[in-house]
Amino acid sequence: MSGRAIVVTSGKGGVGKTTATANIGLSLASRGQKVVLIDGDIGLRNLDLILGVENRVVYNIVDVVSGRCQPRQALVKDKRISSLFLIPASQIDQKEAINADQMRDLSTQLKEEFDFVLIDCPAGIEQGFRNAVAAADEAIVVTTPDVSPVRDADRVIGLLQGSLGEPQLIINRMSMAMVKRGDMLDQQDVLDILAIRLLGIVPEDEAVVIAGNKGAPVVLNGGSPSGDAYGRIARRILGEDVPIPELNGHSSFAKRLGQFIFGR
């Protein structure tokens, strides 16, 4: 068996890469896939915290590639969904503690056993980025509809096109109210600018903050708009044809006419 290795990247930090990795991983695992998440952000370990498994981390990825432990020993098993595993980052090492070849070898090894290897890429385009990309066959680029993340996403897309081909895009933290007011780039604007395939749109959602607080990602609690969005994204990754809801904020002519006449 050879699974799919997908890197989740963005260029800009703080756009929701780790949250996206955790939620997509949980979502795929809850659909019967065997999934391993790799925290590629060496020195700034966070995926364990977002998943809520931080107390069960023993070994980390640097231990694995340096031969201090077997990959199996470093796998942290999720207690909620038994087919989800995490290889945590090291908190004390530098990005240079691992090279691209080691990451590629580890990923090849894991693909033998898992359906999906999801790699949470660190921000930036330096060594950590190159390592994470080396381990992957496909890429997901996460951005928010703001000027600097979109600019950085474009840079990353350019870098990926040389090695992994065309990535797919997730637009995170879309605020319907702001799109409606014309104060936020809508999905079409972002796609006009970046010109890549859209994998999904995740609405701005307070539930993500609460999920982070609890270490229980949004997909675990049904009913939140962001959790539903990640569920649809996972289904698209699995090849299902799930339409992307129009989140462009433009209201219908009839609705606008009503607002014009009745003032509300």
Partner 1 sequence: MTLTERIQIFFGKSGSGSKDAAKNRLLLVLQDDRLGLTGEKKEALRKDILAAIRKHLDIDAEGFTMEFMSSATDQKEMRVTAPVQLGRGAVNLSK
* Residues that bind partner 1 in the complex, under the rule CB under 8 A: 146-147, 150-151, 154-155, 158, 178-186, 189, 192-193, 195, 250-251, 256-257, 259-260, 263-264
What are 149's two structure tokens? 């993340």
Pairing of strands 76-77, 35-39: unpaired
Q: What is the nearest approach in angstroms of partner 1 to the Cβ of residue 121?
A: 20
- Closest C-alpha to 86, from 189, 217, 199, 176: 217
Q: What is the nearest approach in angstroms of partner 1 to the Cβ of residue 202?
A: 18
In the three-class reduction of DSSP (H, G, I as helix; E, B as strand; rest coil), residue 116 is classed as: strand
Q: Which is closer to partner 1, CB of 16 or CB of 145?
A: 145
Q: What is the nearest approach in angstroms of partner 1 to the Cβ of residue 148?
A: 9
- Closest C-alpha to 227, from 37, 21, 23, 16: 23
Q: What is the nearest approach in angstroms of partner 1 to the Cβ of residue 259?
A: 5
Q: Which is closer to partner 1, CB of 207 or CB of 247?
A: 247
Task: Return d(Cα 166, Cα 109) in angstroms, integer.
Answer: 24
What are 170's two structure tokens? 């997730």
What are 78's two structure tokens? 């999720």
Sequence-distant (≥ 6) Cβ neighbours of residue 135 within 8 angstroms: 5, 7, 38, 40, 100, 103, 104, 106, 107, 117, 119
Q: What is the nearest approach in angstroms of partner 1 to the Cβ of residue 162?
A: 14
Q: Which is closer to partner 1, CB of 189 or CB of 228?
A: 189
Q: What is the nearest approach in angstroms of partner 1 to the Cβ of residue 247?
A: 14
Q: Which residues pair with 197 in a beta bridge?
A: 168
- Closest C-alpha to 35, from 90, 98, 78: 78
Q: Which is closer to partner 1, CB of 156 or CB of 211?
A: 156
Q: Which is closer to partner 1, CB of 106 or CB of 184?
A: 184
Q: Which is closer to partner 1, CB of 120 or CB of 152?
A: 152
